[in-house]
């Protein structure tokens, strides 16, 4: 009986030890505040994976740039400083021009088209990330991008010389082709940039305007251009990925697909609700007039040619698959 007890306790210790050595902990770097729908969705994904992995993997989320700021997350995941993270794809055009296909104005102007463009571009994007030592998990779009301004914009002339907050190369290019003065600023710093007068206009989602309570910083106008739906993607460091067993990897991919579906739904809801929130806060929410619409269309056409030249044969392939 005594021997039996010793045997049982030895087996238990061995099992416990094995479990401890197999358990992985991942830090998930998130750039946007905990209340943002991307971050909330990522937190749910992390919780589901953690709970269902049977102790093999714990994913701890760090929202609001608390672990790494937006601009640092791609490199941090690539180098393994964070095992997993979320990054705004089109800010990574220098890594791979295909990552900014979703920020080309007027290429995809509805959620259906945004999904089509995502499906057409995903295989090449995943391949590109894989070559950089990254595993792609899922991508979720922001609501339709619109123009915010402190003053009313009724003509292209009204935009000339405006200090403009940009978030990627595409928005910098829009500013250049319009005569605005762009500065690249992460979402976390928007309120400060507007309140100090460093900028007076930007193009982003109603969600980001709402999250930064932009109306408190003298921004009274939102023009719903809805010319593109840029996405965030969640990526994993491949070395961290390879430490997991096949069952855990499968679980992650399954939960990633669920998170992606939920994220797209949340985005669609925010596209309506957050615009209403801007109006409820007293902002003037409307469309640009036809002269401005034409101007942005022209800017978009120029940028489409420039992007094709940058993205080369892979870009041509993605556009052919999309159309």
Q: Does 97 bind ligand PCA (CB under 6 A)?
A: no
The Cα-based distances of 277 to 66, 201, 203, 212, 298 in angstroms read: 27, 19, 17, 12, 31
Alpha carbons 278 and 197: distance in angstroms, whole number: 20
Alpha carbons 113 and 116: distance in angstroms, whole number: 5
Q: Which of residues 119-178 bind ligand PCA (CB under 6 A)?
A: 142, 167
Q: Does 41 bind ligand PCA (CB under 6 A)?
A: no
Choose among 107, 89, 87, 93: nearest CA to 42.
87
Torsion of CA 157, 163, 168, 174, to 10 degrees: 10
Q: Which of residues 206-225 bind ligand PCA (CB under 6 A)?
A: 207-208
Interface pick for ligand PCA out of 204, 217, 237, 267 (rule CB under 6 A)? 204
Closer of 88 and 264 to ligand PCA (Cβ): 88
Strand partners, 149: 201, 221
User: Which listed range, 132-140, 202-210, 260-268, 292-300, lies at the site for ligand PCA (CB under 6 A)?
Assistant: 202-210
Q: Does 101 bind ligand PCA (CB under 6 A)?
A: no
Smallest gap, in angstroms, from Cβ of residue 208 to ligand PCA?
A: 4
Are 139 and 260 in contact by the 8 Å Cβ rule? The answer is yes
Q: Please work out the total of residues on this chain that contact ligand PCA, with binding judged by CB under 6 A.
A: 9
Closer of 194 and 241 to ligand PCA (Cβ): 194
Smallest gap, in angstroms, from Cβ of residue 146 to ligand PCA?
A: 9
Closer of 24 and 265 to ligand PCA (Cβ): 265
Smallest gap, in angstroms, from Cβ of residue 163 to ligand PCA?
A: 16
DSSP character string of 186-253: -GGGHHHHHHTTS-SEEEE-HHHHHHTTGGGGT--EEE-------EEEEEEEHHHHHTS-HHHHHHHH
Interface pick for ligand PCA out of 82, 187, 277, 283 (rule CB under 6 A)? 187
The site for ligand PCA (CB under 6 A) is made up of: 88, 142, 167, 187, 204-205, 207-208, 230
């Amino acid at each position: 009986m005594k021997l039996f007890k010793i045997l049982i306790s030895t087996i238990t210790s061995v099992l416990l030890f094995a479990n401890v050595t197999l358990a992985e902990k991942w830090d998930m770097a998130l750039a946007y505040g905990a209340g943002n729908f991307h971050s909330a969705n990522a937190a749910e994904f992390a919780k589901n994976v953690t709970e269902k992995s049977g102790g093999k993997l714990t994913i701890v989320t760090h929202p609001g740039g608390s672990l790494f700021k937006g601009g640092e997350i791609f490199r941090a995941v690539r180098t393994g400083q964070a095992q997993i993270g979320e990054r705004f794809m089109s800010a990574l055009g220098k890594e791979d021009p295909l990552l900014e296909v979703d920020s080309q104005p007027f290429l995809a102007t509805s959620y259906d088209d945004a999904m089509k463009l995502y499906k057409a571009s995903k295989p090449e994007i995943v391949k590109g990330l894989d070559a950089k030592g990254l595993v792609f998990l899922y991508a979720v779009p922001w609501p339709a991008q619109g123009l915010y301004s402190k003053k009313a914009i009724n003509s292209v002339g009204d935009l000339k010389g405006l200090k403009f907050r940009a978030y990627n190369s595409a928005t910098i290019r829009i500013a250049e082709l319009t005569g605005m003065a762009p500065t690249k600023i992460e979402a976390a710093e928007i309120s400060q940039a507007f309140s100090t007068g460093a900028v007076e206009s930007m193009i982003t989602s109603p969600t980001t305007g709402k999250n930064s309570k932009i109306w408190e910083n003298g921004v009274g106008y939102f023009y719903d251009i809805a010319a593109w739906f840029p996405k965030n993607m969640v990526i994993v460091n491949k070395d961290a990925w390879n430490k997991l067993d096949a069952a855990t990897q499968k679980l992650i991919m399954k939960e990633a697909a669920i998170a992606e579906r939920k994220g797209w739904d949340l985005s669609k809801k925010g596209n309506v609700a957050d615009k209403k929130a801007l109006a409820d806060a007293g902002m003037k929410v409307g469309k640009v007039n036809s002269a401005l619409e034409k101007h942005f269309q022209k800017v978009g056409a120029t940028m489409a040619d420039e992007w094709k030249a940058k993205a080369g044969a892979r870009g041509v392939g993605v556009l052919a698959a999309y159309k």
